[in-house]
């Protein structure tokens, strides 16, 4: 049996705008999805969502990965088992993590010898197929780890501060939220276009600030980014309440991470303020995950 794992991620800046070609800064975090694969007579995919064969209702991402390997190798049967610390449909990149860990595990099992760039590219193609429109951000960051600027694929310094995530536990589908933003952009292109390009400018300014470890300024920009995410309709009252709770208890800054509409917000905070920020988000009703940036991308855990 082969086991591979891949990390989740948070966006410091740029979700949604990155789908329109604007830059984003995304950070791999220390919560992971593990995928085990073993030779078998037929195809079985088993996760907390159920046990199926190739099934685009229950396991769209993993099914699409299996179909890719059927195209490039002689794959007929395999047993795939998924365990994840990343909440599903939450903005933490669970779809990218399960996709990338499955690609790496099947690559190791079938000896297809994919380079890391090929793993990321194949993962992006799968996200595009299932999500409709998808940027390369989640699949690239989850493959490589670290803090990455997209589309430049430039590695930035790992952020050295607390990362506190607040989960609304409201499931939100990235595909739907991306489609909603597209609709808004079609209705009001002259209004939404500049909002998306302003978000992109925050990533450009944010790059230098991250590398300078100026987290006070990074936090201020994250707060501005949050206002613009609200403006494009991907907020909700719980996300707003958690972001204000985090800011009022000493976070550098706080915003939605990922698709929004539910899912998670992320705060960055001085290490000594992490407990206070976590408590404030919990009192506001959030399920809290305290984590840190990681430079460990996809990896083989055991062969």
Ligand X SMILES: C[C@@](O)(CCOP(=O)(O)O)CC(=O)O
Ligand Y SMILES: Nc1ncnc2c1ncn2[C@@H]1O[C@H](COP(=O)(O)OP(=O)(O)O)[C@@H](O)[C@H]1O
Is residue 114 part of an annotated ligand binding site?
Answer: no
Contact between 79 and 44 under an 8 Å Cβ cutoff? The reply is yes
Q: Residues near 13 by Cβ (< 8 Å), separated by ≥ 6?
A: 24, 25, 199, 202, 203, 206, 221, 222, 225
**Least Å distance between CB 175 and ligand Y?**
6
List the x/- string, 154-193, binding to Mg ion by CB under 5 A.
--------------------x-------------------
In whole angstroms, what is the distance from residue 79 CA to residue 54 CA? 11
By three-state DSSP, how is residue 14 classified?
Answer: coil
**Active site annotation includes 138:** yes
Is residue 95 part of an annotated ligand binding site?
Answer: yes
- Token look-up 């992109």 returns 200
Helices 60-72, 94-110: axis angle to 10 degrees equals 30
Contact between 31 and 101 under an 8 Å Cβ cutoff? The reply is no
User: Of 30, 71, 118, 138, which is the active-site residue?
Assistant: 138
204 contributes a contact to ligand Y by CB under 6 A: no
With contacts defined by CB under 6 A, how many residues of the chain interact with ligand Y? 23
Beta 253-257 vs 287-291: how paired, if at all?
A: unpaired
List the x/- string, 78-117, binding to ligand Y by CB under 6 A.
----x-x---xxxxxxxx--x-------------------
- Cis status, amide bond into 295, omega within 30 of 0: no
The binder of 15, among ligand Y, ligand X, Mg ion, none, by C-beta within 5 to 8 A per type, is: ligand X
Comparing CA positions, the residue from 275, 270, 274 lying closest to residue 213 is 270
Comparing CA positions, the residue from 227, 232, 226 lying closest to residue 182 is 232
The binder of 134, among ligand X, Mg ion, ligand Y, none, by C-beta within 5 to 8 A per type, is: ligand X
Nearer to Mg ion, 8 or 219 (CB): 8
Nearer to ligand Y, 209 or 239 (CB): 239
Burial 105-115 (b: 16+ CB within 10 A, else e): bbbbbbeeebe
Binding site for ligand X (CB under 6 A): 15-16, 18-19, 91-93, 95, 134-135, 137-138, 174, 178, 258-259
203 contributes a contact to Mg ion by CB under 5 A: no
Bridge partners of residue 268, in order along the sequence: 163, 253
**Least Å distance between CB 83 and ligand Y?**
7
By three-state DSSP, how is residue 194 classified?
Answer: helix
| Residues in region 46-65 near ligand Y by CB under 6 A | 47-49, 59-61
**Least Å distance between CB 116 and ligand Y?**
20
Kindly report the number of other CB atoms within 10 A of residue 212's CB atom: 11
By annotation, the residues acting in catalysis are: 138
The annotation places the binding site for ATP at 87-97
Which residues sit at the interface with ligand Y, rule CB under 6 A? 33, 47-49, 59-61, 82, 84, 88-95, 98, 173-174, 258-259, 263
The annotation places the binding site at 87-97
């Amino acid at each position: 049996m082969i086991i591979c794992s891949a990390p989740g991620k948070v966006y410091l800046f740029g979700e949604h705008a990155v789908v329109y070609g604007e830059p984003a800064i995304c950070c791999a975090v220390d919560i992971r999805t593990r995928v085990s694969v073993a030779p078998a007579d037929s195809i079985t995919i088993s996760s907390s969502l159920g046990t199926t064969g190739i099934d685009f209702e229950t396991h769209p991402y993993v099914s699409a990965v299996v179909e890719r390997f059927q195209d490039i190798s002689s794959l007929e049967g395999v047993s795939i088992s998924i365990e994840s610390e990343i909440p599903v449909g939450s903005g933490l990149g669970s779809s990218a993590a399960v996709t990338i860990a499955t690609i790496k595990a099947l690559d190791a099992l079938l000896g297809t010898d994919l380079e890391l760039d090929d793993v990321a590219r194949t993962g992006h193609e799968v996200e595009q197929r299932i999500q409709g429109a998808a940027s390369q951000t989640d699949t690239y960051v989850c493959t490589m780890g670290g803090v990455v600027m997209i589309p430049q694929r430039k590695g930035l310094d790992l952020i050295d501060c607390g990362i506190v995530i607040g989960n609304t536990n409201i499931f939100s589908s990235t595909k739907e939220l991306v489609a909603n933003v597209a609709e808004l952009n079609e209705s009001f292109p002259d209004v939404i276009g500049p909002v998306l390009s302003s978000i992109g400018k925050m990533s450009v300014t944010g790059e230098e600030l991250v590398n300078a470890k100026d987290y006070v300024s990074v936090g201020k920009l994250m707060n501005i980014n949050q206002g613009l995410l609200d403006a494009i309709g991907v907020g909700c009252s719980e996300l707003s309440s958690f972001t204000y709770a985090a800011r009022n208890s000493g976070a550098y800054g706080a915003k939605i991470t990922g698709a929004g509409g539910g899912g998670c917000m992320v705060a960055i905070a001085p290490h000594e303020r992490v407990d206070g920020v976590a408590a404030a988000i919990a009192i506001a009703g959030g399920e809290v995950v305290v984590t840190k940036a990681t430079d460990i991308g996809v990896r083989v855990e055991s062969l």
